[in-house]
A and B are shown apart, each in its own frame.
Chain A
Amino acid sequence: MPRYLIERTFIGNLKLPANGEKDRASFINNNFECNVTWLYSFVSDDRKKSYCIYEALTPEAVRKAAGRNNIPVDRIIEVNVLDPYICK
């Protein structure tokens, strides 16, 4: 499955942790329904920007999940893993 890096800009601060169990469950459920998997994210120090790594079949699925979870999408980039140990 392709991997995508999603850049998001939050207005006001990103609330962490997410707003309780119930929200988290619905967040994960929305992802499940859109067939996307949130792997992990980086959040900027001021919590206004996040860079999320997702697995999804299409960029459209990423947008659909974001829409349902009410989180912004600035840019979606398809990425591959490259790290110092498996640098090819």
Chain B
Amino acid sequence: MKKSNQNLYSVIGASSLGTLIEWYDFYIFGSLATIISEKFFPSGNPTAAFLSTLATFAAGFIVRPFGALVFGRLGDLVGRKYTFLVTLVIMGGSTFCIGLIPGYATFKAAPVVILLLRLLQGLALGGEYGGAATYVAEHAPENRRGYFTSWIQTTATLGLFVSLLVILGCQTLLSKDDFYNWGWRIPFLLSIALVGVSIIIRLKMQESPLFEKLKAEGKVSANPLKESFGHKANLKMVLLALFGATMGQGVVWYTGQFYAQTFLLKTCNLDATQVNTWMGIALLLATPFFVVFGALSDKIGRKTIMLAGMLIALICYRPIFASLYSYADASHKTEIAGKRLSQTTAHIDASTGDSAVIVSTMHTYTDGSVLTETQKKTFAAGTSRDKAIPQVKKSMLLGHMYGSRVVGFIFVLVLFVTMVYGPIAAFLVELFPTHIRYTSMSLPYHIGNGVFGGLVPFIGTLMYEYSKTPANPSGDVLAGLWYPIGIAAACFIIGALYVSTKHQKH
């Protein structure tokens, strides 16, 4: 028993490490998006801008479901172990190559190459998760599947955390210029070492016992795609998994971990370092709850926990985000008039002769918060005519008293994520038969998370922008929440009505 448990934990360790590295690889591109955009997708070049948008959107949303189909099929045909070894190699190789590509200034094909590598990353990620979840679930005893597979669920959050940590480490060790010029490549290049270690560990692993059994009995599916999506009996479960579970789970996940960050940075204009630090603390505190809710789902059922998470989330989103916004709202703060500082600088662009005046004003408030407003006015050469609309940037550094409150609210948002996401792997694995499991579970997972979830920050920001009218130019700051609330509500209804609480034996 002890040996079998040891073996199970080494299976979990090896699978989780590889999946964590894949998430790390996927996230560093997003975390360094601003630098990557400047290095490879120069502004003012429409083709590069087009490719940049595709790289941002396509990898996460379109290619991931394709990766699920390609590698899901492979996993059901040749086995779980070799398939998720392939996805790891593709992911690690692509990430390493991104770190090697010369910038657009010296290599004009850079935008196309970066786009292709990003697509490969998306494809690999689409194949990895289903393999890791299936592999662990097929090693775990049935009555503890929720607990054991929940370790795989922690990897997405930990991958984000590690990527932020590595980037922060590089930024701390290097000067600002060095990081901008070459240091940003380190997190990409580091990937090859991490992937190398993970490959060695995974090579030593055995194939899943359930797949081995299928193979020995000659029951491996001849055409997993046809059996998964061509037969009504299975297709209806794929659709149920998507609309009754992963769709809502995806939006709750992305709202808690990514939209919250976008909201704090762009809508509340909070200081980036402060937001990232608080996000990191909240993520770290909440991550163990993936395992807690995974284990609890073995006792009280997957459906109960996931749907409870969705319901509580959609009820609490507006009050939580309204509170977060109120902390940053300068109109509700009292300024210490004597502490206002203002600085004006002017410079002339040598190449165009245009002049720019930058006025920086620092407001200090009684609650310890500091708001820095920077206004940049550009004048055409030799005139006092405004060349463009003045750019205004705001950055609010909140007082210390808000730290625990913001961390608390983000923690609660991530707690909702752990409720819906902790038991999902076990739920999906149990919904489908072994011989087409990898294919069947991967597609709804990646549509739910990649498409419905991945679009939360984009659609949320879009809805907020659209809420701005001439009558209300500042818009409704909470408008973006209607998308995740609507999707989670629809998913809750479908899940509550159509998903059976009875566990199917496969």
Whether A and B are associated in the same complex: the answer reads no
Which A residues form the contact surface with B (CB < 8 A)?
A: none
